[in-house]
């Protein structure tokens, strides 16, 4: 037991050779083969050292010489798939089969009964899956997804030297790709849509008419500029742009030119036809009431309440857990959030919070929506360059130790690669408005239009200010959700229903804006009532 415990301690610190040495001593001392956990535990550090054949030999010894171990328990079946990927696939350089097993391991972990979550060793197991998945994806030349897996593994467990080294290697490879890039950027015009790219406007609507043009430009080297008829547009970090152009009588041609950082360019035209020239051009339909959404989305939630803190220098709070449970009851009772799709975390650790969001976000499909709610302490730090950054403060935080807080970068990496249609993060914490850079956003006219494109947005109870323990924000949000009787309401419409009254009452300004550097394409999270 002593060798095993010390081996685990070395493993958790990323000291894999020392871990292997102690596990080997533990295996040799177990002459009656009564401790299967020791021989199972040696597999992970061997895998992290990429000694897959040696790991396979130990697993074979386990299967032939021991009665059974923890990987046969229901709660650990996910890790059994990880071990199979190591010992049966990677020992033979079968990367494709290893990826199948690792995807199944991740799926099993994500669908575990929620009562089984919160185990630190299992969270580490999930981190191990992500780390090995990054290795496999890199061998399969899928560097972007490899980077995703590596980054998320480090969020859960920062003591993974082989993952840090792999990310540094990928970064160097990407620098070479960027330097050698000679291909034009990709331009995706979101509005007007492809089938109305050449459109007609009625004569009586020409005066003062405007056309919205928005889209996304992507390139491995980054985007230098997006211009429409030689006018430069503001471009967000994810390449998204949004503008309105004036329409005159006759044929209006708007040329969009995108240039990447290596001076490669692409262009595309948008044509708007008015007056006598409109014959033959498709007509713009008159606005109609928003239809029922032509989707059947699945809604998921992660709700976090942090009231009690391990560090006595961080004062306890009375409201967050109660507030979180109010939101839970309202979402499950009145809206289409099923209990089995809604995770609640009470006084959770940093690793538990980040691991739960990663697990949930990674499991999302393109028809899924994710609502994340956090109530608890927040902290704002002034960086050496005088910029300000907001942090969330989890239950196990140490006051003043930034690495124990949850940063905006941590949150970005949890959701950055999710396939979800919409993600809305609501934070009721001091200084939560400084988590992400404030970006302007124009809401589409109808619910159907709002839902169409992806969104990643933050709603915070205040900007760079402290907020009280007894949260008026939660009460306003709860009442707005409760008193809404529309079948569909966008997050922006919901906020508009109480933001002025909230500001008058609290002297705080609600913050609602796209989250930077993720796949926000101008859409809106839509709440659906039962």
In Å, how far are 45, 370, 372, 386, 480 from 109, measured between CA atoms?
A: 20, 18, 20, 41, 35
pTM above 0.85, yes or no: no
Q: What is the pLDDT along the chain (530 residues), one digit of tens a residue?
A: 699 999 999 999 999 999 999 999 999 999 999 999 999 999 999 999 999 999 999 999 999 999 889 998 888 999 999 999 999 999 999 999 999 999 999 999 987 755 444 467 788 899 999 999 999 999 999 999 999 999 999 999 999 999 999 999 999 988 887 888 889 999 998 888 765 555 555 555 555 678 889 899 998 888 999 999 999 999 887 888 999 998 888 888 999 999 999 889 999 998 888 765 555 554 443 333 344 455 688 999 999 999 999 999 999 988 899 999 999 999 999 999 999 999 999 999 999 999 999 999 999 999 999 999 999 988 877 777 777 778 899 999 999 898 899 988 899 889 988 999 999 999 887 655 545 544 344 444 577 778 888 899 988 876 555 545 567 888 899 999 999 999 889 999 999 999 889 888 888 778 888 887 787 888 899 999 98
How far apart CA 62 and CA 85 sit, in angstroms, is 16
* CB contact burial 98-121 (16+ within 10 A = b; e otherwise): bbbbbebbbebbeebeeeebeeee
CB 229 within 8 A of CB 255: yes
Q: Which helix (H) or strand (E) holds 218?
A: strand 210-218
CB 462 within 8 A of CB 431: yes
Tens-place pLDDT, residues 421-457? 999 999 887 655 545 544 344 444 577 778 888 899 9
CB 418 within 8 A of CB 357: no
In Å, how far are 52, 145, 417, 429 from 141, measured between CA atoms?
A: 20, 9, 17, 41
Sign, Cα dihedral of 302, 307, 313, 315: positive
| Burial class of residue 68 (count of CB atoms within 10 Å of its CB; 0-12, 13-18, 19+) | exposed
Tokens of 503: 């500001």
Tens-place pLDDT, residues 498-515? 988 988 888 877 888 888
Q: Which helix (H) or strand (E) holds 217?
A: strand 210-218
Tell me the H-state helices in 284-399. Answer: 320-334, 350-363
How far apart CA 377 and CA 432 sit, in angstroms, is 9
Q: Structural domains in the chain?
A: 2-179 (1.25.40), 186-278 (2.60.40.10), 298-528 (3.40.50.1460)
| Burial class of residue 197 (count of CB atoms within 10 Å of its CB; 0-12, 13-18, 19+) | middle
Nearest Cα to 303, choosing from 264, 271, 347? Answer: 347
* DSSP class of 36: H
Cβ contacts of 12-16, under 8 Å, gap ≥ 24 = 12/124, 12/157, 12/159, 13/159, 14/159, 14/160, 14/161, 14/162, 16/45, 16/46, 16/48, 16/49, 16/162
């Amino acid at each position: 037991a002593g060798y095993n415990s010390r081996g685990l301690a070395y493993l958790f610190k990323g000291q894999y050779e020392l871990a292997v040495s102690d596990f080997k001593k533990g295996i040799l001392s177990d002459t009656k083969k009564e401790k299967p956990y020791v021989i199972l535990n040696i597999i992970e550090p061997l895998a992290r050292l990429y000694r897959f054949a040696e790991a396979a030999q130990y697993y074979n010894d386990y299967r032939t010489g021991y009665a059974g171990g923890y990987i046969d328990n229901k709660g650990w079946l996910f890790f059994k798939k990880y071990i199979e990927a190591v010992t049966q696939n990677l020992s033979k350089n079968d990367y494709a089969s290893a990826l199948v097993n690792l995807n199944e391991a991740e799926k099993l972990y994500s669908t575990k009964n929620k009562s089984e979550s919160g185990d630190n060793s299992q969270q580490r197991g999930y981190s191990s899956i992500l780390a090995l998945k990054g290795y496999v994806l890199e061998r399969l030349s899928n560097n972007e997804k490899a980077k995703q897996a590596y980054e998320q593994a480090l969020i859960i467990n920062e003591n993974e030297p082989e993952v840090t080294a792999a990310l540094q290697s990928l970064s160097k490879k990407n620098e070479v790709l960027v330097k050698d890039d000679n291909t034009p950027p990709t331009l995706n015009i979101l509005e007007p849509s492809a089938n109305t790219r050449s459109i007609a406007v009625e004569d009586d609507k020409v005066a003062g008419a405007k056309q919205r043009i928005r889209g996304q430009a992507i390139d491995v080297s980054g985007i230098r500029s997006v211009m429409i008829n030689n006018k430069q547009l503001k471009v967000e970090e994810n390449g998204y742009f949004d503008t309105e152009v004036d329409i005159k009588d006759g044929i209006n041609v708007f040329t969009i030119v995108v240039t990447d950082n290596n001076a490669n360019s692409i262009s595309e035209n948008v044509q708007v036809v008015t007056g006598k020239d409109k014959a033959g051009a498709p007509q713009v339909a008159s606005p109609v009431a928003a239809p029922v959404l032509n989707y059947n989305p699945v809604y998921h939630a992660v709700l976090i309440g942090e009231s009690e803190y391990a560090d006595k220098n961080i004062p306890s709070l009375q409201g967050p857990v109660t507030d979180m449970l109010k939101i839970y009851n309202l979402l499950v009772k009145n809206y289409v959030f099923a209990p089995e799709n809604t995770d609640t975390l009470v006084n959770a650790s940093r690793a538990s919070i980040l691991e739960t969001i990663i697990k949930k976000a990674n499991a999302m499909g393109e028809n899924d929506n994710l609502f994340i709610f956090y109530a608890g302490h927040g902290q704002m730090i002034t960086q050496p360059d005088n910029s300000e950054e907001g942090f969330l403060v989890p239950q196990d935080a140490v006051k003043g130790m930034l690495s124990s807080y949850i940063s905006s970068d941590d949150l970005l990496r949890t959701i950055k690669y999710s396939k979800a249609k919409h993600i809305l993060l609501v934070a009721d914490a001091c200084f939560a408005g400084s988590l992400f850079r404030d970006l302007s956003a124009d809401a589409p006219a109808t619910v159907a239009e709002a839902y169409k494109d992806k969104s990643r947005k933050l709603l915070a109870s205040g900007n760079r200010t402290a907020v009280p323990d007894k949260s008026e924000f939660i009460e306003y949000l709860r009442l707005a959700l409760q008193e809404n009787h529309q079948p569909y309401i966008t997050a922006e419409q919901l906020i508009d229903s109480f933001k002025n009254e909230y500001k008058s009452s609290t002297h705080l300004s609600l913050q609602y804006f796209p989250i930077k550097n993720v796949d926000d394409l101008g859409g809106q999270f839509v709440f659906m009532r039962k």
